[in-house]
Structures are given as structure tokens and as C-alpha cells.
Amino acid sequence: MFLRIRRFSALGAWVLLTIGASSAAAQTSDPDRQPIGRFVVDARGGSARYTDDPGLATFLDVTRENLAKRGLGIVFGAHVYPLRMGRYLAFGVGGEMMFSRGSKTLTIEADEEEEAVDGPTVTARLSAVSPQVSLNFGGRDGWSYLSGGIGWTKFSSEVTSETAAPVASVDGTPRTSTINYGGGARWFMKPHVAFSFDVRFYAIRPQEGTATLPSLARRRLLVLSAGVSFK
């Protein structure tokens, strides 16, 4: 799993760097193109890829296969661009809030004389607050960016079944320090409205186990999102 995520990270970084370099090269040759505006706000829907941590499975008394692997969510962000470096490079500061939820139910196989039944359902929720600094390449009508920062995440998970709800839960967890990094692009179809996408990794520090919290290893989550931007 770790090796696979590292490959995704390297591929994502290469794609984003290529987009940024080609965008900057193309736009510097256009004397009529205007520089990036002073601010932008984002609203995107996304898909979060979770990790099947064995410590969480043990704490909830389920198998790793029963843990939610993906979740759907929404991302809100706002950024300002106080400093320009040349005509088509800009330094930005801002942040994002991300909320996601995913669940998974295993089907328990039965004997030939019995019907298969649904097993317990594991529901996971993740929220993140992510301050960011960014390097932006392009002009007012569209630009790509690389960004990162240090923020925090909050995680909860519970197991429910047909007979009881919840059977076990992980809730009230403390905020965990998290590094976020990634990039994306915005294309303005209208003067103030753009299509945008973002590829982001959340590197979450380990969590020590207690009587009420599971022991969790260091995690690296991938979130892909797309939506609209306004300026």
C-alpha cells in the first residue's frame, strides 16, 4: 500500500509540474494575457481514499476487509495572491476545509440451506483544516498551482449492525497534526467562474492507542476533487 501511494505521489507531482511548466511557457508568449487576480474561492466535490489500518480493525473488532476504503466529500477553500514574481508567477496564501464520509458492509456467506446476510457496516468520517501556501503559474483566465501546508485532521468511525447501533465506535478523537501537499488548476469559462480540480495528499501523524482510541500508524490519504472557483 505504501509503495503504491508513493507511486501515485510521484506521478501526481510529475503531472502537476508538467502542467505548470507548459502553462507558464505558453502564457509568457502572450502579451495580452492579464496576471492572476487577487483572490479566489473554491467549492469542490471529491473522493477520499482511506487506509485499512489494522489497529482500527482490531479496535472495532472487524476485519480489514470490512473497513471503508473510499469516501465522498466536499472541499471549501479561499486563497489570496499578495505577491507576484514576474508577470505570470504568483505567491498565494489561504486554506481549505475538507469533509468526507464512507461506509462498507460485508456480505456474510451462509450454507446452501441459508441465505447470505449482511454483516456489520463500518462508517468512517474524516474532516481536515489545511492552511496552505502556493506557487501559481498562469494568468487571469486560468492557472495551475503547487501548494502545501500544515494543519490538522479529525477522524471518527463506528460499526453498526441490524441488531444494535453502534456496536463499537471511535469518536471524540483529538485533532491530529497533518501535512497536506498537492496541486491542481483552474480554467475560467466566464470572467468570474472557473472549472477547477485538485489532487491532494494528507500525511497524518501516528496516533497512540488508549482505552478509548485505537493505535493508528502514520497514514497518507489521497483526495481527488473537482468543482468550481469564483473570483
CATH of the domain at 94: 2.40.160.20
* Residue 170: pLDDT over 70: no
pLDDT at 21: 41
Mapped onto helix, strand or coil, the DSSP state of residue 162 is coil
Domain count, the chain: 1
Q: Which residue has the higher pLDDT, 176 or 184?
A: 184
Separation of alpha carbons 51 and 202, rounded Å: 11
Instruction: For residue 33, give the C-alpha cell.
Output: 494575457
* Residue 100: pLDDT over 70: yes
Using 50, 70 and 90 to split pLDDT, how confident is the model at 195?
very high
pLDDT at 216: 78
* Residue 16: pLDDT over 70: no
- For 55, the enclosing helix (H) or strand (E) is helix 54-60
pLDDT at 47: 95
Q: Which amino acid is at 223?
A: V
Separation of alpha carbons 178 and 150, rounded Å: 6
Separation of alpha carbons 223 and 229, rounded Å: 18
pLDDT at 58: 83
b/e sequence 20-44, b meaning 16+ C-beta within 10 Å: beebbeebbeeeebebbbeebebeb
| CB atoms near residue 214 (< 10 Å) | 20
CB–CB of 40/79 below 8 Å?
yes
Which domain covers residue 116, as residue numbers? 2-29+37-230
Separation of alpha carbons 88 and 100, rounded Å: 34
Choose the most confident range, by mean pLDDT, from 5-9, 130-134, 164-168: 130-134
pLDDT at 42: 97
* Residue 168: pLDDT over 80: no
pLDDT at 88: 85
Q: Which residue has the higher pLDDT, 181 or 69?
A: 181
Using 50, 70 and 90 to split pLDDT, how confident is the model at 3?
very low
CB–CB of 183/223 below 8 Å?
no
Instruction: For residue 40, give the C-alpha cell.
Output: 479566489
